[in-house]
């Protein structure tokens, strides 16, 4: 049953070390500004996303729904989203569409967060098998269930292939995304679930077109690990535990070829990671497992967690002299060699490589003209 799987995901993610790889946020450094020329109180981290004002660019990640435990978690997180003025995804709503008696576990989100930015969620493999008529029904039901401001479709080929009852069906997903684009007036987000989006995929999504890409890169929760625990795998998934594009690199790849909004997630673990994500090209950031762990401890812990993330984010803004999010996007940031090597090999033209290209381009053209003139 789908509901059992939802509870198993929660239980396994909460009681095991299911985080793998490295999001690579430690491999970049924001440059300290000793003369910010603003007071700490001048820092204004608020942003507008899909017409909703957020107190800072943070969205509670997609987690769950479909069971009593999930209902408690969703209710707790939604209350916090409303109180803090931040965004919130819900987990995949397929369970509530095929078993309507479980829909209340999602509806608590609209009841507890009437004015927050709310994001509905469906899975690409399931959507790929629906007829046009069914797809219209699913999309409308998912959006109406939580009065969503946007709809996310998650891409999870790695999860499906390791899931015991997985559905690794990805043929025809692009055409279904184009159809969804036509049938809903809500902004369309495409997200991964912890293995990242490459620039090739970002280009395909740009053509759909989608309104936002949430990279959900590797370095945080790994569904390859979670599903391997569920299938009592004794080792065959081991070589793939690290599979995926580290989140920092996925942000650079995606934002280098895509003009829509980029959300950073996957192993984002504090407000400083979030500030780095924005400085390299993201528009907002999101965390899932940390919010799950907090929600299981109760509302006060969720509030403490969000307050801490917000404080860290504001401190990073202040210490880079960033009064607004636009200032933070321009803040200087420096990357280590492994990050640069990936970006150069992949030909990624982003903020981290621009100065390098700008430095080398004139030198290369001088060398080239010298070579030509020797002929």
Using the contact rule CB under 6 A, the part of the chain among 77-85, 186-194, 227-235, 272-280 near ligand FMN is: 186-194
Minimal distance in Å, beta carbon 375 to ligand FMN?
A: 55
Site string for ligand FMN, 220-249 (x = CB under 6 A): xx----------------------------
Nearer to ligand FMN, 268 or 317 (CB): 268
Q: Which of 76, 105, 112, 121 binds ligand FMN (CB under 6 A)?
A: 121
Q: Does 13 bind ligand FMN (CB under 6 A)?
A: yes
Q: Which of 21, 75, 266, 281 binds ligand FMN (CB under 6 A)?
A: 266
Q: By rule CB under 6 A, what count of residues binds ligand FMN?
A: 25
CA distance 187 to 336: 36
Q: Does 292 bind ligand FMN (CB under 6 A)?
A: yes
Query: Strand 150-154 to strand 188-191: parallel, antiparallel, or no bridges (unpaired)?
Result: parallel
Nearer to ligand FMN, 13 or 146 (CB): 13
Cα 350 versus chain centre, distance: 19
In the structure encoding, which two tokens stand for residue 199, read together?
């620039």
- Reduced DSSP (H G I as helix, E B as strand, rest coil) percent helix, strand, coil of the chain, to 5: 55, 15, 35
Closest CA to 58 of 69, 49, 66, 70: 49
Q: Which of 191, 230, 276, 351 binds ligand FMN (CB under 6 A)?
A: 191
Q: Which of 143, 193, 197, 302 binds ligand FMN (CB under 6 A)?
A: 193
Q: Where in 61-128 does DSSP place strands (E)?
A: 87-89, 117-123
Q: Which of 92, 163, 198, 270 binds ligand FMN (CB under 6 A)?
A: 92
H runs (alpha helix) in 85-198: 94-98, 104-112, 124-128, 132-146, 157-162, 173-183
Contacts of 168 by beta carbon, 8 Å cutoff, 6+ apart: 125, 157, 160, 161
Q: Does 216 bind ligand FMN (CB under 6 A)?
A: yes
In the structure encoding, which two tokens stand for residue 332, read together?
């200087």
Using the contact rule CB under 6 A, the part of the chain among 60-68, 110-118, 311-319, 337-345 near ligand FMN is: 60-68
| Angle, helices 351-374/271-280, rounded to nearest 10 degrees | 30
Nearer to ligand FMN, 281 or 290 (CB): 290
On whether the CB atoms of residues 305 and 294 are closer than 8 A, the answer is yes
Q: Does 145 bind ligand FMN (CB under 6 A)?
A: no
CA distance 190 to 192: 7
Nearer to ligand FMN, 6 or 314 (CB): 6
Per the DSSP assignment, residues forming a β-bridge with 335 are 28
Minimal distance in Å, beta carbon 53 to ligand FMN?
A: 23
Q: Does 270 bind ligand FMN (CB under 6 A)?
A: no
Q: Phi and psi (nearest 5°) for 49?
A: -130, 125
Closest CA to 158 of 150, 148, 166: 166
Which residues in 304-363 contact ligand FMN (CB under 6 A)? none
Minimal distance in Å, beta carbon 290 to ligand FMN?
A: 6
Q: Which of 67, 195, 228, 265 binds ligand FMN (CB under 6 A)?
A: 265
- Contacts with ligand FMN, residue ranges (CB under 6 A): 9-10, 13, 61-64, 91-92, 121, 154, 191, 193-194, 216, 220-221, 265-268, 287-289, 292
């Amino acid at each position: 049953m789908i509901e059992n799987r939802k509870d198993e995901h929660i239980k396994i993610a909460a009681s095991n070390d299911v985080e793998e790889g490295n999001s690579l946020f430690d491999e970049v450094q924001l440059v300290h500004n000793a003369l910010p020329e603003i007071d700490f109180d001048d820092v204004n981290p608020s942003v507008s996303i899909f017409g909703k004002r957020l107190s800072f660019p943070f969205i509670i990640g997609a987690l769950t729904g479909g069971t009593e435990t999930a209902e408690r978690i969703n209710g707790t997180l939604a209350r916090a989203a409303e109180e803090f003025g931040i965004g919130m995804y819900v987990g995949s709503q397929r369970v509530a569409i095929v078993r309507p008696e479980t829909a209340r576990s999602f509806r608590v989100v609209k009841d507890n967060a009437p004015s927050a930015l709310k994001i509905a969620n469906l899975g690409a493999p399931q959507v790929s098998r629906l007829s046009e008529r069914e797809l219209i029904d699913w999309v409308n039901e998912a959006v109406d269930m939580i009065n969503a401001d946007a709809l996310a479709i998650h891409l999870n080929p790695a999860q499906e292939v390791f899931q015991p009852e997985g559905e690794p069906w990805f043929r025809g997903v692009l055409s279904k995304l184009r159809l969804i684009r036509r049938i809903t007036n809500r902004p369309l987000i495409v997200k991964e679930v912890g293995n990242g989006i490459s620039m090739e995929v970002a280009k395909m999504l740009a053509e759909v077109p989608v309104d936002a890409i949430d990279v959900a890169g590797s370095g945080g929760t790994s569904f390859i690990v979670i599903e391997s625990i569920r299938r009592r795998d004794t080792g065959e998934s081991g070589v793939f535990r690290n599979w995926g594009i580290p989140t920092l690199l996925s942000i650079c790849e995606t934002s280098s070829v895509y003009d829509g909004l980029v959300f950073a997630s996957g192993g984002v673990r504090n407000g400083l990671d979030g500030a780095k994500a924005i400085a390299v090209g993201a528009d907002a950031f999101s965390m899932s497992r940390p919010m799950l762990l907090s929600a299981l401890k109760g509302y006060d812990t969720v509030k403490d967690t969000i307050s801490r993330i917000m404080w860290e984010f504001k401190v990073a803004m202040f210490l880079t002299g960033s009064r607004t999010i636009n200032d933070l996007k321009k803040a200087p940031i420096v990357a280590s060699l492994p990050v640069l090597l990936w970006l150069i090999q992949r030909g990624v033209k982003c903020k981290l490589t621009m100065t390098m290209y700008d430095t080398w381009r004139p030198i290369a053209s001088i060398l080239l003209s010298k070579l030509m003139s020797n002929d």
